[in-house]
Amino acid sequence: MKFTAQQIATQLEGTVEGDPNVEVFQLSKIEEAQKGSLTFLSNPKYTPFIYKTQASVTIVNQDFIAEDRLSTTLVRVPNAYDSFSILLDYYNKAKISKSGVAESAVIDPSAKIGKNCFVGHMSCIQEDVEIGNDVKIYPQVYIGSNVSIGAGTIIFAGAKILEDSIIGQNCIIHSGSVIGSDGFGFAPQENGDYKKIPQTGIVVLGDRVEVGSNSTIDRATLGVTSIGNGVKLDNQIQIAHNVEIGDNTVIAAQTGIAGSSKIGKNCVIGGQVGIVGHISIGDNVKIQGQSGVISNIKENSTIQGTPAFSYNDYNKSYVYFKNLPNILKEINRIIKKLDL
């Protein structure tokens, strides 16, 4: 797709300085941009690049003052960063805008598919599935029986949505994710073996949930594994059976949450955090990366460490942790001096 500088300015309610008819067909960083690229300048430390860039069009703040000759056409807007983000979203939506059903897709006759949907090659949709309008299902996706998928949801290549799962509206499920697989439930036996406990519950995702690549959300043993509205999950996250996550919580990569734990709303959880099962974490909690959470956490707390405790106390204590050898040496010197 090609756009002129004037079309971009009109979309962003900006003004053109230069050739309004110059065309762009790709997005680039300012230091790497070539002819035909659209880029932006927001951070002042990148200002030197605007005099060297080969970008055909550059979005800048309204108050930008050029101190040297420019070869790029400018589009002036109130906030260059926000405007470029708007264009990124528009570009991404245009890129993934598809409709129709591929010939190699396998769809059970009982499945109900809404208007303007896309189903890619070799995707499989089982019996009694209900899919809302404008849903995009990319190649090699598996959707199990009795699954419900809300309008506007996008499921990228290779994702698996297993039976009875409920996916809300405008969700994004990235490649390789598995939603609704069995939870890790085994009962120890007297002979040392483990007997599998059937996992008969479901997974429910609210609206506007994003699930990163290769993340897994297990079905409940009984009842529901629940992911609230607006939750954002990074890549390679494990969420176990019967976990509940409140609205608008964000979780970074490689975090693992054990069974039946409850996490509140608007929490921020860093990467590689481990959370044990059957605990409660309040609303607005911040957990620093690589922390291990083994007990209930009150709302509005910020914690770090393993086992995790107050972030401020952790930082104060760390000064002593790293100096323990010197502190011990000093204690031994004092003991020797006192002849104790």
Condensed to tens digits (0 to 9), the pLDDT of residues 193-233 reads 999 999 999 999 999 999 999 999 999 999 999 999 999 99
Q: How confident is the model at residue 92 (pLDDT cuts 50, 70, 90)?
A: confident
| CA distance between the termini of the chain | 83
Q: How many CB atoms lie within 10 A of CB 48?
A: 13
**Alpha-carbon dihedral of residues 16, 20, 23, 29, nearest 10 degrees?**
-20
Q: How confident is the model at residue 318 (pLDDT cuts 50, 70, 90)?
A: confident
Written as six digits, the tokens of 235 are 């890549």
Q: Look at residue 183 and tell me whether its pLDDT is greater than 80.
A: yes
Q: How confident is the model at residue 87 (pLDDT cuts 50, 70, 90)?
A: confident
Identify the CA nearest to 270 among candidates 234, 223, 323.
234
Within the chain, all domains assigned CATH 2.160.10.10 are found at 101-315
Give the Cα separation of 69 and 324 in Å (integer).
Answer: 59
- pLDDT for the residue numbered 223: 95
Condensed to tens digits (0 to 9), the pLDDT of residues 234-268 reads 999 999 999 999 999 999 999 999 999 999 999 99
Give the Cα separation of 98 and 57 in Å (integer).
Answer: 28
Helices (H), 275-323: 311-321
Active-site residue, 174 included: no
SS3 10: helix
**Region class of 8: left (phi > 0), else alpha (psi between -120 and 50), else beta:** alpha
CB 168 within 8 A of CB 186: no
CATH number for the domain whose boundaries are 101-315: 2.160.10.10
Instruction: Give the CA distances from residue 248 to residues 206, 209, 214, 228, 229, in Å, rounded to whole numbers and listed in that order.
Output: 10, 9, 21, 7, 6
The answer, yes or no, to whether the previous bond of 307 is cis (omega within 30 of 0) is yes
Condensed to tens digits (0 to 9), the pLDDT of residues 49-66 reads 999 999 999 999 999 999
Written as six digits, the tokens of 328 are 């011990």
Instruction: Give the CA distances from residue 144 to residues 126, 191, 216, in Å, rounded to whole numbers and listed in that order.
Output: 5, 36, 15
pTM > 0.85: no
Within the chain, all domains assigned CATH 3.40.1390.10 are found at 3-96
- pLDDT for the residue numbered 97: 76
Condensed to tens digits (0 to 9), the pLDDT of residues 127-145 reads 999 999 999 999 999 999 9
**Region class of 221: left (phi > 0), else alpha (psi between -120 and 50), else beta:** alpha
- pLDDT for the residue numbered 71: 95
CATH topology of domain 3-96: 3.40.1390
- pLDDT for the residue numbered 329: 87
Q: How confident is the model at residue 280 (pLDDT cuts 50, 70, 90)?
A: very high
Q: Which is catalytic among the residues 121, 174, 241, 278?
A: 241
- pLDDT for the residue numbered 340: 57
CB 106 within 8 A of CB 125: yes
- pLDDT for the residue numbered 91: 77
Residue whose pair of structure tokens reads 């899919």 in the numeric block: 131
CB 95 within 8 A of CB 20: no
Give the Cα separation of 29 and 284 in Å (integer).
Answer: 35
